Amino acid sequence: MKLWEKGIPTSKLVEQFTVGDDRTYDRALAKYDVLASIAHAKMLGRQSIISGEESDALVKALEAYLHTVGQEHFIIEDSFEDIHSKIEAYLIDTLGETGKKIHTARSRNDQVLTAIQLYCKDRLDEVCEKTHHFAGVLLHLAATHSSVFMPGYTHMQVAMPSSFGLWFSAYAETLADDLVSLRAVQHLVDQNPLGSAAGYGSSFDIDRAFTTKALDFQNLKVNAIAAQMMRGRTELRVVSTLGEVAYSLSKLANDICLYMGQDFGFVHFPDHITTGSSIMPHKKNPDVFELIRAKANTLQASRTELSSLLTNLTTGYHRDLQLTKPIVMNAFDQLTELLEVFSEVLPEIRVNEALAQHEKYQYIWSVDTLNKWVSEGMPFREAYQKMAQSIADKSYAPDTSLKHLHLGSKDQLGLDLIKQKLDSALQTGRLN
């Protein structure tokens, strides 16, 4: 069944090419299309566009179908073009002539728009929760290893004293920023396009405010053309924001891959987290973190794919937009998997508590000693020259007892403030 069918058979090759994998991805939209159809049927009855009895019958049948589309074995058979045609066929089979009235005052355009908006709202909630959880894992590790020395590098050269607590909590606070971005894009998604029909509205006296409230949208996308223009732009904004989280995960994974190497030896993991070599029995490879890095990077590339897809499309719907579904859905699936895997394996990390004993890090405290001289009254440039000379003539002796006293330093992590940021970002989309 095709909603646009007029009795003229379509070339099998054309049909296969145009439908593609849409049925597979439409399974994820099934629940949302049913929910939107329930709201639409209620509105049609309230506005007397159909009778109250017809509206009630449609709603009852659709509410019963919610359970069906939620089943794991639910499929969209090849005889249907998409989820929209399958639902309509179900209503016609169940209600006869009344079922044919569900498409009154709407188009497949605003159907799929609404389903995608609802889908993205829910999936963004899921990603926010998992991001917040992973940040909590990082904060716990930061508290556990708050005072364990870790060398800080700039230009890949030994630079300043740091700590594992500072490193772990840096990523936790970065994820707080990412949560703000996730909530911001969720706010943009939280607009109701239902009633925009094919992108130009309709002559029916529909109540779009009612469907906005019924579907728990925060706002109505008022202009019908602007509503249609959300297609593609929504997916691009969402995927771009998911890419920000992916960037954070990729950077952390890359750190771990580097720090696990014998030349660094900062961290290691138990054998059940690492993998081996087929010919080198001594190897413990960071495969899971390399794959997190790779998958996070390919997720970021989805933005380019979507942007290219949307380039040079004029106002109004184009079938090109069908191809946005797999990109955004795969991005959600991939990021949630990365967050779940990272949250599972990172608590297994073991940090090297003896790094401060390595001779190569002896000069890392030189700046702290220099700063101590400055605080005692020596001009900075003079203190700098004195330290440089002591390093050159090998009279320098490291003082590892000096503390960093300001908030946000290795000795004043401010973990409680970072947690407040994370909790606030999750709940309100703000950092305060």
Please indicate, yes or no, if residue 136 is contained in any of the structural domains. Answer: yes
Residue 388 structural domain: 359-392
Helix (H, G, I), strand (E, B) or coil at 8: coil
Dmax of the chain from CA atoms?
Answer: 96
Domain boundary among 60, 76, 104: 104
CA distances from 8 to 4, 16, 121 (A): 10, 16, 38
> Closest by alpha carbon to 106, among 1, 208, 222, 194?
194
CA dihedral 394, 395, 396, 398 (to 10 degrees): 110
Domain boundary among 104, 135, 163: 104
Structural tokens at position 217 = 């949208």
Q: What are phi and psi of 355, to 5 degrees?
A: -65, -35
Query: Do 79 and 142 belong to one domain?
Result: no
Helix (H, G, I), strand (E, B) or coil at 154: strand
Q: pTM here? A: 0.92
What are 273-279's contacts with CB under 8 Å, separation 24+? 273/345, 273/348
Query: Do 32 and 124 belong to one domain?
Result: no
- What is the Cα–Cα distance from 52 to 58, expressed in whole angstroms? 10
Interior/surface letters 302-312, b for 16+ CB within 10 angstroms, e for the rest: bbebbeebbee
Helix (H, G, I), strand (E, B) or coil at 11: coil
Please indicate, yes or no, if residue 215 is contained in any of the structural domains. Answer: no
Give the number of domains in the chain. 3
Query: Do 95 and 131 belong to one domain?
Result: no
Please indicate, yes or no, if residue 131 is contained in any of the structural domains. Answer: yes
Query: Do 151 and 268 belong to one domain?
Result: yes
Please indicate, yes or no, if residue 205 is contained in any of the structural domains. Answer: no
- What is the Cα–Cα distance from 45 to 50, expressed in whole angstroms? 5
Please indicate, yes or no, if residue 113 is contained in any of the structural domains. Answer: no
Query: Do 68 and 157 belong to one domain?
Result: no
- What is the Cα–Cα distance from 332 to 290, expressed in whole angstroms? 20
Query: Do 291 and 336 belong to one domain?
Result: yes
Task: Identify residue 366 by its one-letter amino acid code.
Answer: S
CATH number, position 19? 1.10.275.10
| Tens of each residue's pLDDT in the chain, 432 residues | 444 455 555 656 655 665 556 677 888 999 999 999 999 999 999 999 999 999 999 999 999 999 999 888 898 887 788 889 899 999 999 999 999 999 999 998 999 999 999 999 999 999 999 999 999 999 999 999 999 999 999 999 999 999 999 999 999 999 999 999 999 999 999 999 999 999 999 999 999 999 999 999 999 999 999 999 999 999 999 999 999 999 999 999 999 999 999 999 999 999 888 776 667 666 688 899 999 999 999 998 899 999 999 998 999 889 899 899 999 999 999 999 999 999 999 999 999 999 999 999 999 999 999 999 999 999 999 999 999 999 999 999 999 999 999 999 999 999 999 999 999 999 999 998
Query: Do 377 and 289 belong to one domain?
Result: no
Please indicate, yes or no, if residue 72 is contained in any of the structural domains. Answer: yes
Query: Do 125 and 79 belong to one domain?
Result: no
Model pLDDT, residue 4: 41
- What is the Cα–Cα distance from 305 to 301, expressed in whole angstroms? 7
Structural tokens at position 220 = 């109505």
Query: Do 69 and 177 belong to one domain?
Result: no
CA distances from 109 to 187, 254, 328 (A): 21, 42, 17
CATH number, position 227? 1.20.200.10
Structural tokens at position 283 = 């190897």
Domain boundary among 80, 104, 128: 104
Please indicate, yes or no, if residue 65 is contained in any of the structural domains. Answer: yes
Query: Do 241 and 382 belong to one domain?
Result: no
Instruction: Report the chain's terminal Cα–Cα distance, integer Å.
Output: 52
Query: Do 294 and 380 belong to one domain?
Result: no
Residues 6+ apart with CB under 8 A from 122: 32
Query: Do 280 and 363 belong to one domain?
Result: no
Please indicate, yes or no, if residue 198 is contained in any of the structural domains. Answer: no
